[in-house]
Amino acid sequence: MSEGVVLRVYGDRALVRSTEGLAEYRPKGSLRKDGLLAGDRVTVQGEHVVAVHARLSQLGRPPVANASILLAVTCVRDPAVSQGDLDRLLLQAEAQALTTLVVLNKCDLIAAEEAQDYLRPYRAAGYTALRVSTRTGEGIGDLRTALPPGIAVLAGQSGVGKSSILGSLTGDDVEIGRITEKLRRGRHTTRAATLYEAGPGRLIADTPGFSDLDLPDIPPERLPMLYPEMQGRGCRFADCRHRAEPDCAVIAAVGEGRLDAGRYRRYLEFLAEIEGRPKRWH
Ligand SMILES: Nc1nc2c(ncn2[C@@H]2O[C@H](COP(=O)(O)OP(=O)(O)OP(=O)(O)O)[C@@H](O)[C@H]2O)c(=O)[nH]1
Ligand SMILES: [Mg+2]
Ligand SMILES: [Zn+2]
């Protein structure tokens, strides 16, 4: 028996990095096939995964267990990812209580001021935001340094450069080549997340990109809690939705330019969108 991490699940097999090396295993009969996720800590024995350890976290989209940080990858050009799109991604992460790092890629395509303007609201909200380019290598070292031990999940729209960032962080690791080769044989590749090794104790999950991202499935009153910059402002009402309530400190801060007006305007749009959903929370 030995302990390992699931790097990928495909079909009825799981690719596991364990103390015995890198190999494919089948879940033992009593383990449900769909009970395994990339990122799961498992016990393997012989040809089988015989136990799945309790998860510290579970991301729904993309499906990854035990992630310690989400890398919210975005870019201003090719494709143009709006700040509203980035807001939605951050809300998904906040809804799952995941630490998030904003990564603005393709900075080689835009002026430094444009990158700063794009990131300003997020930095003001308390997020760490890095400017990178896989083309020039700018910021890649900082990104590597910023990765905590454990599993980092690359997420973002199609084409923003998630796989390119993965390549920049992992380099031409022989082991990666071997993993990739094994993966090509899998037939269920498009929907899955895959973990790659990026140094001791560090795994990075590349995930399929998306074109549209839903707001998280939450009741409207939870939405304000997903904005770090709206916390502890001291509104009169504890359940203030920061729209038209008396003595709302968020509205006041926006008026005085202490909170980003764009983030706030989009917050109101998102709130209306969530309030307009069919009720099933009460
Ligand atoms: N100019 C520029 N192009 C980049 C940069 N990083 C990636 N690209 C290009 O952007 C395109 C998309 O990159 P990918 O890494 O495949 O993007 P992805 O996010 O993995 O896309 P999906 O897998 O579809 O979600 C490729 O043509 C890359 O060469 C960058 O820093 N600068
Ligand atoms: Mg990709
Ligand atoms: Zn308020």
Residue pLDDT, tens place only, 102-140: 999 999 999 999 999 999 999 999 999 999 999 999 999
Residues 31 and 119 grouped into a single domain: no
Question: What's the average model confidence in pLDDT over 194-202?
Answer: 88
Q: Look up tokens 């976290």; give the residue.
A: 57
Helices 261-275 and 83-95 cross at an angle (nearest 10°) of 60
- Give the 3-state secondary structure of residue 179: helix
Alpha-carbon distance of 247 to 269, in angstroms, equals 21
End-to-end CA distance of the chain: 47
pTM across the whole model: 0.90
Alpha-carbon distance of 101 to 90, in angstroms, equals 9
Residues 90 and 145 grouped into a single domain: yes
Backbone angles phi, psi at 59, to 5 degrees: -85, 135
Angle ∠(234,240,246) on CA atoms, nearest 5: 80
Residue pLDDT, tens place only, 21-64: 999 999 988 776 568 899 999 999 999 999 999 998 888 777 89
Ligand 3 (ion): residues with CB under 5 Å are 235, 240, 242, 248, 250
Residues 6+ apart with CB under 8 A from 51: 31, 42, 43
Residues 159 and 141 grouped into a single domain: yes
Task: Name every protein residue with a CB atom under 6 angstroms from any ligand 1 atom.
Answer: 105-106, 108-109, 133-135, 156, 158-164, 208-209
Q: Provide the number of structural domains found in the chain.
A: 3
Residues 173 and 243 grouped into a single domain: no
Of 76, 105, 164, best ligand 1 pocket probe by most atoms within 8 Å of the beta carbon: 164
- Could you tell me if 41 and 68 are in contact, meaning their C-beta atoms sit under 8 angstroms apart? no
- Could you tell me if 130 and 142 are in contact, meaning their C-beta atoms sit under 8 angstroms apart? yes
Domain end call among 206, 232, 252: 206
pLDDT at 138: 97
Angle ∠(184,202,108) on CA atoms, nearest 5: 80
The boundaries of the domain holding residue 229 are 220-275
10-19, 92-101, 180-189: lowest mean pLDDT where? 180-189
Residues 6+ apart with CB under 8 A from 180: none
CATH of the domain at 177: 3.40.50.300
- Report which residue type is found at 11: G
In a domain? residue 40: yes
